[in-house]
Amino acid sequence: MNQTYYTVLTQKGIALLDNATSLGVPLKITQMAVGDGNGNITTPDATQTELVHEVRRAAIDNLFVDNENPCQIIAEQVIPETDGGWFIHEIGLFDDEDNLIAVGNYPATYKPNIIEDSSRTQVIRMVIIVDNTEAIELKNDSTEVFAARQYIEPRADATQTTATQKYVNDTITAKITAHEKSTNHPNATTSNKGFVQLNSEIDSKLETQAATPLAVKKVYDVANGAVKRSGDTMTGLLTLSNKGKGLKIDYLNKDSMTLMTSSDRYSHVFYDAKTNRSERKLDYNSTENIWQFRNVNDVTINDKSVLKAGDYGIGTDAGAPLSDPEKRLHTGFYGIHTNQLSLPNASGYGTLAVYGSDGPYTKYVEQLYIADSWTPRLFSRCGFLDHTKRAWVESITEANIDRFLTAPVGVPQPWPRSFAPKGYLLCNGASFDANKYPKLSYAYPDGKLPDLRKWDANKDIQFIYIVKAE
């Protein structure tokens, strides 16, 4: 009994074709597979979801409607001479989601590969019958060269059918002719179409070569790391190397500000177009970790002036003497000559510090003056911005306490601090060294100080007394 070869649509394929027809979205049949049927010619079964033993699957080269029968779809696949070494007993068509759409059996055909003496390229044709060919997305590649010498065409209603030699020869001739025409072009220029040589360089000046994806990737990487143009937003840090010296900002009036680096110094340099002169305004020294104002007349913080030209460190490195320090009530530090201040028993040079504060009705200032001498003396007074000032008051320190405490050794004196100044002891009932303080032991021969500590009625303030020790 003769073997019958045919193709059937699978149950999955029928369902997908019906769905494609109803939705108007063509079914994409994209792959053809061949198998050896585990050594046997198979019997196609509509319930199959895969071949019995698949040996090769690849993309379909052609999928078209038969000119002589508009209900038949013909699928073709070229198996190159490099593939083979197995028998073909079964074939199948798959869609783009790997669903088996149609399955058929195939006359026992051995496909050799290139390492065998009888290697060849072979074209496999598979025909399916459908009610609506528009439900299938077709593929017709007229540039594909068919070098096959054998076509096997299984049909649903016939036995083995072999294409005639004339059909094969005509097909090969047509394909070769089309291919030759498609490749017979001159080299391309900027004004004419043609073949173009590829080039992966990104700095080439040639106009007859085209950039490869590698060249495009190189340009993309460079552009991705480049500084953005005006209007763009930078999302990362802008790093300026020392070689570039810095960043220049131009103003509309032709002035400019340059952020410069030099060695361990970072500077803001301002250029005045009217005077054609550049001056450093603000420096940072990373070695000394110090900021320095230079050539600045006024420094403000939150729109309030904090330093002015003439103040110490602003406008001069040595400080500016004042012609009328009695009226100097602006916040700052000033080097002045004391004979221009009404200080009690003070002469020579010193430093004046002025601090300001806002009151509910007026502005207050406090002036502190430190006389420059071997035993520094501290004076202070309060004033107002209307130049109403109080008298200078000298503060008591260890260096000048003898000018305020004049009682003899051993005589108790009131003292406002919780510790005694140098040369004095607290009257807290403690014992003392009579050998170290012989004059004090004359007043207190038992070597023990009186305890004169007292608290106020609310136990808030302790009244302290001290005695001169020697």
Q: What is the CATH number of the domain that holds 421?
A: 3.90.1340.10
pLDDT value of position 88? 94
Neighbouring-strand partners of residue 54: 35
202 and 133 within one domain: no
74 and 102 within one domain: yes
48 and 137 within one domain: yes
pTM of the model: 0.34
Q: Which is it for strands 100-111 and 86-95: parallel, antiparallel or unpaired?
A: antiparallel
169 and 25 within one domain: yes
CA atoms within 13 A on the CB side of 372: 11
Q: Would you place residue 363 in the very low, low, confident or very high pLDDT band (cuts 50, 70, 90)?
A: low
Question: What are 99-132's pLDDT values in tens digits?
Answer: 999 999 999 988 888 877 666 788 899 998 888 7
224 and 178 within one domain: no
Q: Which of 11-25, 55-69, 226-240 has the lowest mean pLDDT?
A: 226-240
Do the beta carbons of residue 216 and residue 209 sit within 8 Å? no
Q: Would you place residue 162 in the very low, low, confident or very high pLDDT band (cuts 50, 70, 90)?
A: very low
Cα 88 to the chain's mean position, in Å?
A: 58
Q: Would you place residue 152 in the very low, low, confident or very high pLDDT band (cuts 50, 70, 90)?
A: very low
Q: What's the rounded mean pLDDT across residues 153-162? A: 37
pLDDT value of position 467? 84
Q: What's the rounded mean pLDDT across residues 134-141? A: 70
330 and 205 within one domain: no
If one compares 172 and 141, the residue with the highest pLDDT of the two is 172
Q: Minimal CA–CA distance to 381: which of 391, 396, 372? A: 391
Asked if pLDDT for residue 5 goes beyond 80, the answer is: yes
Name the token pair of 314: 């602003």
pLDDT value of position 367? 79
Residue 122, judged by CB atoms within 10 A of its CB (0-12, 13-18, 19+), counts as buried
CA distances from 247 to 241, 289, 378 (A): 10, 22, 48
Q: What's the rounded mean pLDDT across residues 242-265? A: 80
Report the alpha-carbon distance of residue 326 to residue 389 in Å, rounded.
9
Do the beta carbons of residue 399 and residue 377 sit within 8 Å? yes
Asked if pLDDT for residue 43 goes beyond 90, the answer is: yes
Decide if 215 is inside a domain. yes
Cα 242 to the chain's mean position, in Å?
A: 22
200 and 58 within one domain: no
Residue spans of alpha helices (H) in 134-256: 165-183, 213-224
Write phi, then psi, for 376 (nearest 5 degrees).
Answer: -55, 140
* Residue that is last in its domain, among 371, 394, 417: 394
Asked if pLDDT for residue 38 goes beyond 90, the answer is: yes
288 and 208 within one domain: no
C-alpha dihedral (144, 56, 154, 67), degrees to nearest 10: -20
326 and 222 within one domain: no
Decide if 288 is inside a domain. yes
Asked if pLDDT for residue 89 goes beyond 90, the answer is: yes
If one compares 315 and 350, the residue with the highest pLDDT of the two is 350
pLDDT value of position 134? 82
Q: Which of 276-280, 333-337, 412-416, 418-422 has the lowest mean pLDDT?
A: 333-337
Asked if pLDDT for residue 37 goes beyond 80, the answer is: yes
Q: What is the DSSP letter of 318?
A: S
Average pLDDT, the chain: 77
Decide if 209 is inside a domain. yes
For tokens 């004095």, name the residue: 424
pLDDT value of position 339? 61
Expressed as residue numbers, the domain containing 414 is 401-468
- Three-state DSSP class for residue 60: coil
DSSP 16-48: HHHHHHHHT--EEEEEEEEE-GGGS-----TT-
Decide if 323 is inside a domain. yes
DSSP 401-444: GGGT--PPTT--EEESSSSPPTTEEE-BS-B--TTT-HHHHHH-
Do the beta carbons of residue 145 and residue 175 sit within 8 Å? yes
pLDDT value of position 167? 54
Decide if 177 is inside a domain. yes
CA distances from 383 to 44, 204, 327 (A): 112, 78, 10
Decide if 191 is inside a domain. no
Decide if 279 is inside a domain. yes
Contacts of 411 (CB under 8 A, 6+ apart): 443, 467, 468
Question: What are 202-232's pLDDT values in tens digits?
Answer: 888 887 788 888 888 887 877 776 766 677 7
264 and 279 within one domain: yes
pLDDT value of position 448? 92
382 and 290 within one domain: no
pLDDT value of position 394? 80
371 and 250 within one domain: no
Q: Minimal CA–CA distance to 80: which of 117, 111, 121? A: 121
Name the token pair of 40: 């046997």
* Residue that is last in its domain, among 394, 413, 441: 394
pLDDT value of position 143? 40
Report the alpha-carbon distance of residue 195 to residue 217 in Å, rounded.
23
If one compares 253 and 223, the residue with the highest pLDDT of the two is 253
Q: Would you place residue 329 in the very low, low, confident or very high pLDDT band (cuts 50, 70, 90)?
A: low
Q: What's the rounded mean pLDDT across residues 263-279? A: 87
Instruction: Quote the number of domains for the chain.
Output: 5
Decide if 187 is inside a domain. no
The span from the first CA to the last CA of the chain, in angstroms, equals 143
